[in-house]
Structures are given as C-alpha cells and as structure tokens.
Amino acid sequence: MRPFLDNFRPDPEMPDSRWVWRTAKPLLRDAVVTCAPYYPEYPRLKVGTSGGPSDDPSCPSARAVGTDIDVVIYSDSGTSGGRQERAWDFILGHYQLVEASLRRKLFARHSKFLKQFVDEDLPEAKHLQTYWDTIKHRVRWDDPSAVNHLFKLVSVGLAESGLDECGFSSFEFQTGWDRDHGLGVLMHKDRVLAADGMTELIVGNPDSIAAGAKHVQGYDLDDGDYLL
C-alpha cells in the first residue's frame, strides 16, 4: 500500500506548512448547494473559464456535486504523519458515524441561519422576498434533508494535534447561507467541537486549535457538540 504521506504535494502558497491530496469524497457525497437564500444572483452565476471550479466559498461550482475533495495536512511545526494519518483512517473506517455527526451539526447551523433569515432579514428586503418566493418550495427547510441542498463538502483538513493520538479534522463546506466565508466544522474522531468560517478553526499552531474551539463553544454550542 502506498504510504499515506506520499499522496500529498506541497501547497505552492504554503509549502512549509500545508500539503494537499486530491482524492475521492468519503462522505456527504450527494450534498450540494442548490439554493442560496441570501444571494438572488446565485442561479445565474457561472464558473470562470480561466480559474475553473475551486474550493472558494463563493465559487458557483458549489452547484455541482463533484466526486473529489482536497485532503489537506496542516503542520505549523513542519512535522506531519501519525496524528493526521490516524484522523484520516478514522474518517474512512467510521464514515457513517462521522457523517451522522456532521449532518446533526449542519442542520443545527442551518436552523439558526433560517430563523434569522425569516425573522430578521426577509421582512426588510424586497429583493430577497422575490427570490425567496422562487426557492421556498424547492427544499424541505424544516427537515434534516435540507442539508443536502445547502452544503457541499470541498475539503478535509488534518491537524498535527488532537485530544489524544488522533489529530483534529476539519470539514470545509461551501454553503448557500454564507458564500463569503463558507463553513468549517472542527471534529475529533466522530465528535463535533465547533463550527466557524471555512478553515478558520484548523489553521494555526497546534495549541491554538483546541483553544479556538473552546472560544467558539463559549458563545455557540449546539446539542450534541462535545464540550471541551
């Protein structure tokens, strides 16, 4: 079997601390961003011909399911291997548990976004009201299946630190709720720790990852999250 680290190549933008591997999507394979309630222009946007599809949260390629993702090793100290590999092996070996935890968290986030949109933003914005009329019947907004239409997994980050010998993992999503920042869900094995903008919780020195998750938990903790 090919050694795990041989799959990766240095990221040209961060060659000393980030390595990337393009591989098959292990979970949430059918989830895609079909609707973007805050963005009436979304259905008309086209992927740029020069750059092509990307993991950027604003890329309209979020509408296409896709079969591959980027797996990214982060190592602020320049070391990599054991913890990141164990995190990836756990994802592959327990993908149903990991996906169930992710779906719970994504639906919790979706429910908060939806409530704010309907209660606070929609009544004040005529252009959003018009767009909402065209999409409100396309999704069962109050059902967990809404996750399949508002989030697309585009990458998985693997950290050199964790709560034990298994490293943290971060699942990065394009989302119809926030095309500026996307969404990143930090996990340890099958336990959700916190969610924030795409990659925001996985980047940084090893000690800062747990501290960052604790900070987010101080103001944003959903039922089922693992309290640090």
Query: What is residue 45's predicted lDDT score, i.e. its pLDDT?
Result: 95
Q: In this predicted model, what pLDDT tens digit does every residue of 43-74 receive, in sequence order?
A: 999 998 877 899 999 999 999 999 999 999 99
- pLDDT for 80 beyond 70: no
Read off the pLDDT of each residue in 157-166 and give the average, rounded to a whole number. Answer: 94
Closest to 135 in 3D by CA, of 208, 41, 13, 1: 41
* Confidence at 1, pLDDT banded by 50, 70, 90: very low
Q: Residue 2: pLDDT above 70?
A: no
Counting residues of the chain whose pLDDT is more than 90, the rounded percentage is 86
Q: Which residues contact 205 (CB under 8 A, 6 or more apart)?
A: 76, 77
* Mean pLDDT, range 21-37, rounded to an integer: 97
Average pLDDT, the chain: 94
156 three-state secondary structure: strand
- Contact at 8 Å (CB) between 100 and 171? no
pTM: 0.95
Specify the DSSP element, H or E, that contains 206.
Answer: helix 206-217
For the segment 136-150, the average pLDDT, to the nearest whole number, is: 97
